[in-house]
Structure 1
Amino acid sequence: MPAFKIPLRQYVGLLRRYLRSQRSSIVWLGVLLAAGLVMQLVNPQLIRYFIDSAQGADSDRALWIAAALFIGVSLLQQVVAVVAAYIGENVGWIATNKLRGDVAEHCLRLDMSFHKSHTTGSIIERVDGDINALANFFSNFVITLLSNLLLVVGILALLFREGWIVGAGMTVFVVFAVYAIQYIRKYAIPYWGKLRQMSADFYGFLGEHLEGTEDTRANGATGFVMHKFHSLLRVWLPIRTRAFLGWASMWIATLVVFAIGNAIAFALCAYLWKKGAISIGTVYMIFYYTELMAKPIEKIRTQMEDLQKADASIVRIRQLLDTEPAIRDGAGTPLPRGPLSVVFDGVSFSYEEGKATLDGIDFELEHGRTLGLLGRTGSGKTTLARLLLRFYDPQEGEIRLGGVPIRDAKLSELRGRVGLVTQNIEIFQGTVRDNLTFYDESIPDERIAEVLSELGLDDWLRSLPHGLNTTLESGGGGLSAGEAQLLAFARVFLSDPGLVLLDEASSRLDPATEQRLEAAVTKLLRERTCIIIAHRLATVQRADRILILDGGRIAEFGDREALAADPDSRFSRMLEAGMEEVLA
């Protein structure tokens, strides 16, 4: 099975981009590893000197000097190794965090179609799991690989210095060892890629069903979920086994190679010692170098193993980063201040080819007016709101806010000027202030307190132990549905939008809370354009215009009072029959 083919420029590009800011640390890491390399080459020479001196010395002075030097160099070598490991881990941690941030930011920029087709768990696995596999690649891959190669070259050079027979024999051993490891590696790489993909699928499934635990239990689907859970594990096991066997084959090959190396060293040393060409100290030195050579070859094997994991992760991360958002940022035409008019000009949109969700939508809502948007479930109401925020772009037609085509506006400005409140409220782990402002420090506490007071939450705010700095639980634990909904309203009005979208925003409120909200919303919607998506008649009583969707088309559009007074209008018949029944 072929290995991944990753161009060298991709490796170089990643290293250059994410290590550029750590040049000084990289230099120090290189210096420390070079120093360690020199000390590893010096120690066997000291041992030879010690053994030969022990055989022929008349005094112990030479032995004491050799022993002291050996111990001193060994201790210094350990200190250098610890410092190098510390610097290397820091380099890897900083680089992978930077890459993790880039990947997370890229995912946030991708459009809703991407997030609909990828589970939360699979995206987390990409952002965290794949990038963790690159930690060693960033921290010291190139330097460690280079230093170990230099150590092997240094050992061979010193062995050639002792005699060409020893040097040539060990060179053949090294070439054979590197070739064997590389040969086995190419069969192991593809399984690491499959393993990472399977891991992403598994955690995506797990995250999805952990979020829906209540629905799973309530509908008796626990058995199905566990069956799927075990099915994924059964698929995962053979892939993991093959990946492990690929790693094990490299490990076993290394052990065999080391055994062959020792056999070669023993044979050559025996031959040369019998000829009187080398001393006992040199015999031990050659054997020590042979044992020492196992370490860089083992390191090279480990680096190759990490590289095969990095290969798979780099391919998957590259694929993610190469995924272009379908929604392109506009050129930057500014939206006018104040309330925004809304124009849909021949807008058609479909999630799936051949199945239109909105078909030829044409209407205009003047600035400062309120539109009541009605229709059965699946008629396209929520899709219309998503198009206004450019979560999706229509396949045909144009949408204009304040006379500006929304494709021409910057996404950040567009979404800052259009506020959305839905029936599903997300409360994040963080303070009340952070949940309301999304970490915008420019909004003063006085303004937050003013908005909360308008929404009737001033007593609730005073009851909090630390006021705006009180920490809220993820998911809104400790908040009632009404309080969470009111906080969502506060978020929108703190951003001072020119257009407000209320997507069945009062559906979770009890009548008492909804009534309390009415006066505040009336005041807050003043001097703003508003589109209210609703199923209940009371919700659209504040609307100036009514638009009814049916099967993705406009069934009726006009002034609310005029439509209510026209006995032939669909809206009038809704009022007579009870809108909740008609729209059910």
Structure 2
Amino acid sequence: MTAFKIPLRQYVGLLRHYLRSQRSSIMGLAVLLVAGLAMQLVNPQLIRYFIDSAQQAETNEALWIAAALFIGVSLLQQLVTVAATYISENVGWIATNKLRGDVAEHCLRLDMTFHKSHTTGSIIERVDGDINALANFFSNFVITLASNLLLVVGILILLFREGWIVGAGMSVFVVLAIYAIQYIRKFAIPHWGKLRQISADFYGFLSEHLEGTEDTRANGASDFVMHKFFSLLRVWLPVRIRAFLGWAAMWITTLVVFAIGNAVAFALSAYLWRNGSITIGTVYMIFYYTELMAKPIEKIRTQMEDLQKADASIVRIRQLLDTEPAIRDGAGTPLPAGPLPVTLDDVTFAYESGKATLDGIDFRLEPGQVLGLLGRTGSGKTTLARLMLRFYDPQSGVIRLGDVPIRDAKLYDLRRRVGMVTQSIEIFQGTVRDNLTFYDSAISDERIVRVLGELGLDSWFRSLPDGLDSKLESGGGGLSAGEAQLLAFARVFLTDPGLVILDEASSRLDPATEQRLEAAVTKLLHGRTCIIIAHRLATVQRADCILILDNGRIAEFGNRETLAADPESRFSRMLEVGMEEVLA
């Protein structure tokens, strides 16, 4: 078995980056921990003084002083512990939340290839589960480890003051204890990494199938899903057992080490007391220090346990953060204002180096024109739309909006100027305003209401109890398919794009809603370029040009009226026999 090898500089780099803004809290925590350490070293001295005074003093004054000091120091130590715990938890949560935000933002920047190859659950497990495992690493790992090591050193120094035999004996015990704990640790580390990976796989599977519950039930696949569920649990259990046994081995090793330490302390104290070298109070102090030494060694053990969990989590988080998006942001060439002309110059694209989905696509769409994009399922229509938004980049060829290659534009600018409406609508849990603007405060409420009115949603809007502050359910619960589709249109037009892509956008609408939408779209598309991906002829009646794809190649491209009048054209045959028949 091999342990994870994480360079020290990666630990230091993480701590420096995510704790930099909390220097004052870290310094305060360090002061509190050192103060607590000093009080832990003082208390055994007070107890020795109390016991020896009880045997020798003729009055109780010394006993009262010793007792008062002991109680006062103990209470102050508890207050210091509470304050240190509060600060360390704050430090840990602030640091991990910042890291969680960075990882989530990085995932959002990654391209569709990454998201298609990772389930939602596995990504959530990395963003949340792995980072939660680092909470203690960020909160007090270095300071607590250092303070516990200082406590052990302080105890050994005080024991050496009582006699070199006691100091040397306990020093040997400490060295052997730390070596034993470190030795047993390496057998547990690999299992924590496997455990976190299996956990991510399990929650990814669970998330995927919970989202598709309706399809699973409708197709009678519940038994298969449950079989897979229990199969993953069967794989998970032995790894969980091995990880637990690794933890148990460290715990048992610690108990055995502490028992040996007590035996050594007992033997040395008995020998020195019999020789008259130490008092009864000193004997108790040695035992107290031995028991006290168990705490920092135990803490060091748990810190090592946290470190082995952090090892696995840091590896996985580092791998995720090191994953570079295939889609690089452009240099920032601005896109032209107004309706965007579209040019594709010999564009070829294939998913995962397979057969080309688009092969040598060449066409130009003039500004303000509407293109009807037709073709069989799998011909590359939706892929073409994804390339326009740079969800993917073609392997060869250039896509231009105006005279600007889209690779040269900033992704943010590109996706503000190109709007897309699909038949699959995502409604998020939140207000109507947030669902329409995606938290863009620059979009005024008046403009939102105006667009809703233009889309024929004014009566629906007036029925909302809190207007734009009304809450929508995740997944669009409480909305009809038509209402959800119209809200998707509203989202796009609020960004005022120069190019609009409608990918089967009216396929879920009833005839009455579709008719209402057609009138609204006519108005809203004025002064914009548009690409309409459709399976129905009625949808492309507004098109100026028709582009028909067949197996990733352009089968036909031209003016709609010209193609319709040409009896030899594919589009003309579609009009004669029905597009559904031709594309079947």
Match in the other structure for 1:300: 300
Alignment of 1:256-295 (within 5 A): 256-295=256-295
Matched, 1:379 2:379: yes
- Cα shift readout 1:313-350 (whole Å, capped 9, x = no counterpart): 00000000000000000000000000000000000000
Q: Which amino acid aligns with 2:567?
A: P
Write the distance in 2 (CA, Å) between the matches of 1:577 and 1:175: 89
1:304 Cα offset (Å): 0.3
1:2 Cα offset (Å): 1.2
- Give ranges in structure 1 of 5+ residues lacking alignment: none
Q: Which amino acid aligns with 1:491?
A: R
Match in the other structure for 1:450: 450
Alignment of 1:62-461 (within 5 A): 62-461=62-461
Match in the other structure for 1:563: 563
1:353 Cα offset (Å): 1.9
- Cα shift readout 1:443-466 (whole Å, capped 9, x = no counterpart): 111100100000000011000000
Q: Which amino acid aligns with 2:186?
A: K
Write the distance in 1 (CA, Å) between the matches of 2:65 and 2:223: 74
Write the distance in 1 (CA, Å) between the matches of 2:569 and 2:298: 82
**What root-mean-square deviation, in Å, do the aligned CA atoms of Structure 1 and Structure 2 show?**
0.4
Secondary structure of 1:187 counterpart:
coil
1:385 Cα offset (Å): 0.2
Write the distance in 2 (CA, Å) between the matches of 1:143 and 1:412: 42
Write the distance in 2 (CA, Å) between the matches of 1:423 and 1:310: 43
- Give ranges in structure 2 of 5+ residues lacking alignment: none
Match in the other structure for 2:554: 554
- Cα shift readout 1:236-279 (whole Å, capped 9, x = no counterpart): 00000000011110000000000000000000000000000000
Write the distance in 2 (CA, Å) between the matches of 1:342 and 1:353: 26
Q: Which amino acid aligns with 1:232?
A: L
Write the distance in 2 (CA, Å) between the matches of 1:447 and 1:314: 46
Q: Which runs of 4+ in 1 moved over 3 A?
A: none
Matched, 1:44 2:44: yes
Write the distance in 2 (CA, Å) between the matches of 1:28 and 1:352: 53
1:354 Cα offset (Å): 3.8
Write the distance in 1 (CA, Å) between the matches of 2:315 and 2:47: 47
Secondary structure of 2:188 counterpart:
helix
Secondary structure of 2:359 counterpart:
strand
1:168 Cα offset (Å): 0.2
Secondary structure of 1:226 counterpart:
helix
Secondary structure of 2:192 counterpart:
helix
Secondary structure of 1:357 counterpart:
strand
Write the distance in 2 (CA, Å) between the matches of 1:353 and 1:530: 30
Output the TM-score relative to the length of structure 1: 1.00
Match in the other structure for 1:478: 478
Match in the other structure for 1:2: 2
1:403 Cα offset (Å): 1.2
- Cα shift readout 1:182-232 (whole Å, capped 9, x = no counterpart): 001111111000000000000000000000000001111000000000000
Write the distance in 2 (CA, Å) between the matches of 1:317 and 1:211: 25
Write the distance in 2 (CA, Å) between the matches of 1:249 and 1:418: 59
Match in the other structure for 1:33: 33
Secondary structure of 1:65 counterpart:
helix
1:582 Cα offset (Å): 1.6
Q: Which amino acid aligns with 2:188?
A: A
Secondary structure of 1:475 counterpart:
helix
Q: Which amino acid aligns with 2:401?
A: L
Write the distance in 2 (CA, Å) between the matches of 1:296 and 1:318: 30
Match in the other structure for 2:497: 497
Matched, 1:11 2:20: no
Write the distance in 2 (CA, Å) between the matches of 1:14 and 1:304: 18
Write the distance in 2 (CA, Å) between the matches of 1:440 and 1:402: 26
Matched, 1:509 2:509: yes
Secondary structure of 1:373 counterpart:
strand
Q: Which amino acid aligns with 2:147?
A: S
Aligned residues: 584
Q: Which amino acid aligns with 2:260?
A: I
Write the distance in 2 (CA, Å) between the matches of 1:39 and 1:469: 56
Write the distance in 1 (CA, Å) between the matches of 2:19 and 2:88: 11
- Cα shift readout 1:394-434 (whole Å, capped 9, x = no counterpart): 00100000110000000000000000000000000000000
Secondary structure of 2:478 counterpart:
coil
Match in the other structure for 2:525: 525
Write the distance in 2 (CA, Å) between the matches of 1:306 and 1:242: 17
Write the distance in 1 (CA, Å) between the matches of 2:58 and 2:285: 22
1:583 Cα offset (Å): 1.7
- Cα shift readout 1:110-130 (whole Å, capped 9, x = no counterpart): 000000000000000000000
Secondary structure of 2:548 counterpart:
strand
Write the distance in 1 (CA, Å) between the matches of 2:445 and 2:410: 28
Secondary structure of 1:420 counterpart:
strand
Write the distance in 1 (CA, Å) between the matches of 2:373 and 2:450: 30
Secondary structure of 1:484 counterpart:
helix
Identity of aligned residues (%): 86
Write the distance in 2 (CA, Å) between the matches of 1:6 and 1:510: 59
1:581 Cα offset (Å): 2.0
1:17 Cα offset (Å): 0.2
1:580 Cα offset (Å): 1.7
- Cα shift readout 1:26-70 (whole Å, capped 9, x = no counterpart): 000000000000000000000000000000000000000000100
- Cα shift readout 1:154-173 (whole Å, capped 9, x = no counterpart): 00000000000000000000
Secondary structure of 2:250 counterpart:
helix
Match in the other structure for 1:55: 55
1:352 Cα offset (Å): 2.9
- Cα shift readout 1:517-557 (whole Å, capped 9, x = no counterpart): 11110000000000000000000000000000000000000
Secondary structure of 1:558 counterpart:
strand
1:136 Cα offset (Å): 0.0
Write the distance in 1 (CA, Å) between the matches of 2:518 and 2:220: 39
Q: Which amino acid aligns with 1:53?
A: S
